[in-house]
């Protein structure tokens, strides 16, 4: 165990580029939004000042609109496509133009509480500045990505989900043309096996959407009107609600009454909306395609992420867990990101089957919240064992346990440190 803890520290140090951490060398050479939030929680287990720094560097990329972009390009690199020239966002620190799941507020509470416990210098001031950035981002979600006030927030690009290549996007993505204004020069398949990465055709669709939004000048109102891809999504909304609860908690603890009330209103709205996405016949939550108006019933891990933010009735929680057990049966490593042996199941292609330590982390928290300690513990042990057997891989083939994708991965190291700590609690 100590050997693996040291290796986790070593990976986080090796991926440090000056106060921020790249997900892994070469394949992802910049600062990624939700990766950094997980990494900050990893740092909070042993270096609180560095944990704050990770979040502070991330918000250097925050837009005037409040959006925190999915990539901040602090320094140039030629090992990644699409770079700043494709995004054309005109931000003073170059950034992408889309966002990623708002784990930020969850991370801020973890870092803040660790700082209070340890008596870290300047903790209150550092938390306060980050809290305001987080609040501005939540306001952006509720205006730009839910203009009709439904309580569910929408994604305009598959990459905003963090589950970039999930079968949940297949139907909506098929409507997006494969034509692009930008030449598509993939770099990812030079770093890892193409069989683990998205298909070329889908990559052209991803870039078509970037071209479309760049032509809208990245104006959220124009993007909302123009886009062929608009999904009210339960994984992101579940994370937003949990982060909203954590920001509300911080606001109260800092005596920010008006801010706490504002967050409480958002959270109440979303709690009801998310619960309404439960489908008893499927024993999970589903997202909605806002262009077709239909449920997206592709079986993916996203259907269980709302447990993170909801206190479900016992029957409902038991039904979700029974379904999760069914998916995990006979797997060497849980939890598969697509239901095993379903039509779109591919155990090695990313987000179409593999198990990810950070997804497990969110699921474990959701299971514990909903009084499911056995399943939570089984998942925790499964994740730790996979990492100790195969190293800090980007993700794991659930059928063989093989570590896949990029290696020396920051968020896998952070998840390991966090999951070990949860076990000691
Ligand atoms: C991939 C993942 C995304 C992650 C990024 C960096 O694009 O799909 O969730 O943030 O890699 O690790």
Catalytic annotation present for 294: no
Please report the atom of ligand 1 found closest to the CA of residue 164: 8
Query: pLDDT class for 124, splitting at 50, 70, 90?
Result: very high
Q: What is the pLDDT of residue 197?
A: 84
State the pLDDT confidence band at 424, using cuts at 50, 70 and 90.
low
Structure letter (DSSP) for residue 309: T
174 pLDDT above the threshold of 90: yes
pLDDT per residue as tens digits for the range 359-393: 999 999 999 999 999 999 999 999 999 999 999 99
Catalytic-labelled residue, pool 35, 160, 164, 202:
164
Lowest-pLDDT choice from 179-183, 254-258, 380-384: 179-183
Does residue 35 have its Cβ closer than 6 Å to ligand 1?
yes
As a whole number, mean pLDDT of residues 165-188 equals 94
Residue nearest to atom 2 of ligand 1 (CA): 162
Distance 162 CA to ligand 1 centre (A): 6
Is there an atom of ligand 1 within 6 Å of 28 CB?
A: yes
- Give residue 35 CA to ligand 1 midpoint distance, Å: 7
Query: What average pLDDT score do residues 399-418 get?
Result: 96
Q: Please report the pLDDT score of residue 292 as a whole number.
A: 98
Ligand 1 geometric centre to CA of 256 (Å): 34
Q: How far apart are CA 320 and CA 311, in angstroms?
A: 13
Q: Which of 35, 146, 289, 394 is catalytic?
A: 394
Give just the sign of the alpha carbon dihedral 309, 315, 318, 320.
negative
The whole-number pLDDT of residue 194 equals 86
Q: Is the CB of 164 under 6 A from ligand 1?
A: yes
Q: How far is the CA of 85 from the centre of ligand 1 (A)?
A: 20
From the CA of 235, how far away is ligand 1's center (Å)? 15
Q: Is 295 assigned a catalytic role?
A: no
- Look over the chain and give the mean of its residue pLDDT values, rounded to a whole number: 96
Long-range contacts of 243-246 (CB under 8 A, 24+ apart): 243/102, 243/103, 243/104, 243/105, 243/106, 243/134, 243/138, 244/105, 244/138, 244/270, 245/309, 246/105, 246/106, 246/108, 246/109
Which whole number is the average pLDDT over 55-82? 96
Side-by-side strand order, sheet with 295-296: 154-155, 231-232, 287-289, 295-296
Task: Band the pLDDT of 397: cuts 50, 70, 90.
Answer: very high
């Amino acid at each position: 165990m100590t050997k693996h803890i040291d290796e986790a520290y070593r990976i986080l140090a090796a991926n440090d580029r000056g106060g921020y951490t790249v997900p892994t060398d070469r394949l992802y050479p910049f600062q990624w939004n939700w990766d950094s939030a997980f990494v900050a929680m990893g740092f909070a287990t042993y270096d609180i000042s560095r944990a704050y720094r990770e979040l502070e560097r991330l918000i250097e990329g925050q837009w005037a609109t409040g959006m925190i972009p999915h990539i901040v390009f602090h320094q140039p690199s030629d090992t990644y496509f699409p770079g700043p020239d494709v995004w054309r966002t005109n931000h003073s620190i170059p950034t992408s133009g889309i966002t990623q799941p708002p784990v930020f507020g969850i991370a801020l509470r973890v870092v803040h509480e660790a700082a209070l416990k340890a008596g870290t210098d300047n903790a209150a001031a550092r938390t306060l500045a980050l809290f305001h950035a987080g609040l501005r981002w939540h306001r952006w979600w509720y205006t730009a990505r839910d203009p009709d006030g439904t309580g569910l927030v929408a994604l305009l690009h598959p990459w905003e989900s963090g589950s970039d290549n999930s079968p949940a996007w297949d139907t909506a993505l098929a409507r997006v043309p494969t034509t692009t204004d930008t030449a598509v020069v993939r770099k990812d398949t030079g770093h890892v096996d193409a069989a683990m990465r998205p298909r070329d055709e889908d990559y052209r669709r991803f870039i078509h959407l970037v071209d479309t939004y760049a032509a809208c000048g990245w104006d959220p109102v124009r993007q909302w009107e123009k886009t062929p891809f608009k999904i009210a999504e339960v994984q992101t909304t579940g994370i937003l609600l949990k982060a909203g609860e954590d920001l509300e908690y911080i606001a109260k603890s800092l005596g920010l009454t008006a801010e706490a009330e504002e967050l409480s209103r958002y959270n109440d709205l979303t709690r009801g909306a998310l619960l309404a996405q439960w489908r008893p016949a499927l024993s999970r939550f589903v997202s909605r395609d806002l262009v077709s108006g239909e449920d997206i019933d592709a079986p993916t891990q996203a259907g269980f992420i709302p447990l993170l933010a909801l206190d479900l009735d016992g029957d409902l929680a038991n039904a979700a867990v029974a379904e999760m057990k069914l998916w995990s049966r006979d797997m060497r490593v849980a939890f598969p990101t697509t239901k095993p042996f379903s039509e779109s199941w591919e155990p090695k292609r990313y987000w179409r089957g593999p198990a990810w330590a950070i997804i497990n982390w969110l699921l474990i928290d959701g299971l514990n919240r909903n009084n499911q300690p056995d399943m939570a513990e089984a998942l925790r042990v499964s994740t730790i064992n996979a990492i100790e057997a195969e190293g800090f891989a980007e993700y794991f083939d659930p059928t063989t346990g093989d570590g896949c994708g990029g290696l020396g991965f920051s968020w896998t190291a952070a998840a390991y440190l966090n999951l070990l700590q949860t076990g000691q609690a």
